[in-house]
Chain A
């Protein structure tokens, strides 16, 4: 908690163990959702390494590309794709809880968000498909 909200009077703080989340499946789902950040970070590094190699010149960039054509990289990216899709789902699942009270069912927000992402993804791939041929 940042200083702004620190109470002036010393209040009792319940001690927290580092393993509380193992006690209830609901908490495990929470931890899995938070853990998606690790994979967003990993993909940011993949992209960053591509941009750096691009700046270093053609041979470096092509070495980076060659790495991406390995079987290990394919499996890695398939797993990463699944985990980021899970991030998309959980991001929209949390959204109704963080928006002000509106007259829309939480499930509608989740469905709309996931469908919008799927549609947007198809459009992006289709546009790329169009401009590259």
Chain B
């Protein structure tokens, strides 16, 4: 019998759902509302130098990677299953949805590695 790969995707769905529930709102507030408009947090919080230092720090780098990985796989897994609610079934659904999440994660990984340590 073919080994099921579902548990990996389901656990990333769960972990990503939890992470986005806990951090999604505050991340959006910081990067999209507070910092760009200097509201509560100064605009310099995410200056090039600060952002670079954060992405070069191993913990900061790991954080960015995990957020991108889990947000992408959580959302793609959930949207994939929503297809079935719209009575859409296709043998290509898994390669497309998980492929998109994987492609985004890979782009993030390459970018983060090229930023260096």
Asked if residues B33 and A74 are in contact (CB atoms below 8 Å), the reply is yes
**Do B28 and A43 touch (CB < 8 A)?**
yes
Q: Is the CB of A113 within 8 A of B21?
A: yes
Which of A38, A55, A58, A68 has its CB near the most chain B CB atoms (within 10 A)? A55
- Interface size on B, as a range, is 35 or more
Q: 0/1 per residue, B26-49, Cβ < 8 Å to A?
A: 111111111011001110111010
* 23 A-B pairs with C-beta separation under 8 A: A4-B6, A18-B86, A37-B75, A37-B77, A41-B76, A44-B104, A51-B108, A58-B48, A62-B48, A69-B37, A74-B36, A77-B28, A81-B28, A85-B25, A88-B22, A91-B18, A92-B21, A113-B21, A116-B22, A117-B25, A121-B29, A129-B40, A129-B41
Please tell me if the beta carbons of B82 and A40 are within 8 angstroms of each other in the complex. no
Question: From residue 40 to 61 of chain B, which have CB atoms closer than 8 A to chain A?
Answer: 40-42, 44-46, 48, 50-52, 55
Query: Are A51 and B72 closer than 8 Å at their CB atoms?
Result: no
CA distance A45 to B72 in the complex (A): 8
Could you tell me if B78 and A81 are in contact, using CB atoms closer than 8 angstroms? no
Verify if A29 is at the interface (C-beta below 8 Å from B): no
Bound-state Cα–Cα, A50 to B40, Å: 21
Task: Indicate if the CB atoms of A3 and B2 lie closer than 8 Å.
Answer: yes
A55 touches B111 (CB 8 A): yes
User: How many angstroms from the CA of A23 to the CA of B19 in the assembled complex?
Assistant: 33
In the complex, the chain A residue whose C-beta lies closest to that of B73 is A44
A95 to chain B, nearest CB (A): 9
Q: B residues within 8 A CB of A10?
A: none
Given A47-B71, A54-B52, A81 and B6 contact (CB-CB distance below 8 Å) = no
- The 8 A CB mask of A59-95 against B (1 = contact, 0 = none) is 0011001001100011011101100110110011000
In whole angstroms, how far apart are the Cα atoms of A76 and B69 in the complex?
Answer: 23
